[in-house]
């Protein structure tokens, strides 16, 4: 769109242990985090930005955020929350007053906090191109995702239902490291029956995920039970014009919701019907459909 953009990862490193320590309690890494952000502030000291845009702001400390704002006093500071407040660390809300505009994908968080603006996530142009693909699908149901929370249990139930109903399924559960599997095997009841081979330890690439969705009639989505906001996968499936099976009950409040295209299941007792699987995707009003593409998302973020 013509902007000159400098991008910095918000984490000092993207290693497994760095991510784990940040999620456990980022105060453990405060010195390292502040050193990292001091370097960013130093690198950008001779620049004058129009916007400083944060995605979630999980890592930066209040002290460093204020320092960055002092340096870029002419910039508009914008925060986009792609995760729920409950799942974003104990001090996320103390950062809010520093930002000029805060948007969130979580409708419930917006209802409970007057400083937030509701804005769901987006799909990329690649998914819109899939929407033009009318080939016969290879899979009745597919799932690609990280094996967090109760996903293993729920995916196992859906796989069993597919076998009973004679449906063609593709299921890819990813864990970041074999150590995660061992930890959960020992400490999580839901993993007691899990096998090492039930999971993949190398993530699929973007092209591979696109190919799987392209070959799917329905895509399964399982959000974290602490959030009501729609996952990226929900909106990508919308872009690809595929049918969606989801545990997110709040999806019925969205303008693109159509029970012909979206089946809401109980995460404790998931039930899938042949009628839903066999029926075709119903086209969505173009104005609603286009509102969820990346261009409109960026336009609304930066107005």
- Please give the pLDDT value at position 126: 96
- Please give the pLDDT value at position 263: 98
Enumerate residues 6+ apart whose C-beta is below 8 A from 220: 141, 142, 143, 155, 158, 245, 246
Summarised one tens digit per residue, pLDDT across range 49-82 is 999 999 999 888 899 999 999 999 999 999 999 9
Distance CA(255)–CA(297), nearest Å, equals: 16
Higher-confidence residue of 213 and 16: namely 213
With pLDDT > 90 as the criterion, what percentage of the chain qualifies?
A: 77
Summarised one tens digit per residue, pLDDT across range 110-129 is 999 999 999 999 999 999 99
- Please give the pLDDT value at position 21: 64
Residues counted in the chain? 303
pLDDT at 41 over 90: yes
C-beta of residue 51 within 8 angstroms of C-beta of residue 68:
no
pLDDT at 281 over 70: yes
Confidence of residue 4 (pLDDT cuts 50, 70, 90): very high
- Please give the pLDDT value at position 9: 92
List the domains of the chain with CATH numbers. 16-119 (3.40.50), 125-290 (3.40.50)
- Please give the pLDDT value at position 87: 82
- Please give the pLDDT value at position 25: 63
Place of tokens 């995920």: 209
Distance CA(75)–CA(52), nearest Å, equals: 6
pLDDT at 229 over 70: yes
- Please give the pLDDT value at position 90: 66
Confidence of residue 29 (pLDDT cuts 50, 70, 90): confident
What angle do helix axes 30-43 and 62-71 make, rounded to 10 degrees? 10
- Please give the pLDDT value at position 303: 86
pLDDT at 174 over 70: yes
């Amino acid at each position: 769109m013509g902007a000159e953009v400098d991008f910095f990862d918000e984490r000092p490193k993207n290693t497994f242990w760095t991510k784990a320590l940040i999620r456990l309690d980022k105060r453990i890494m405060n010195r390292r985090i502040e050193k990292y952000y001091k370097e960013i502030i130093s690198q950008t000291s001779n620049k004058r930005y129009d916007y400083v845009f944060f995605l979630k702001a999980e890592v930066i400390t209040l002290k460093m955020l204020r320092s960055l704002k002092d340096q870029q006093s002419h910039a508009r500071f914008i925060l986009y929350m792609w995760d729920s407040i409950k799942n974003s660390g104990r001090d996320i809300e103390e950062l809010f007053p520093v930002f000029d505009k805060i948007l969130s994908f979580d409708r419930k968080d917006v209802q409970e906090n007057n400083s937030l603006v509701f804005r769901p996530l987006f799909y990329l142009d690649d998914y819109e191109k899939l929407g033009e693909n009318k080939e016969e699908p290879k899979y009745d149901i597919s799932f690609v995702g990280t094996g967090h929370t109760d996903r293993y249990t729920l995916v196992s139930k859906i796989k069993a239902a597919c076998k009973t109903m004679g449906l063609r399924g593709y299921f890819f559960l990813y864990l970041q490291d074999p150590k995660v599997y061992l930890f959960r095997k020992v400490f999580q009841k839901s993993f007691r029956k899990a096998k090492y081979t039930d999971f993949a330890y190398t993530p699929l690439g973007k092209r591979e995920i696109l190919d799987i969705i392209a070959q799917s009639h329905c895509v399964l989505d399982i959000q974290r039970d602490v959030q009501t906001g729609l996952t990226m996968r929900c909106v990508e499936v919308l872009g690809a014009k595929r049918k969606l099976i989801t545990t997110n009950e709040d999806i019925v409040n969205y303008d693109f919701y159509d029970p012909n295209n979206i089946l809401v299941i109980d995460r404790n007792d998931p039930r899938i019907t042949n009628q839903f699987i066999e029926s075709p995707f119903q086209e969505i009003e173009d104005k609603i459909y286009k509102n969820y593409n990346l261009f409109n998302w960026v336009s609304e973020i930066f107005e």
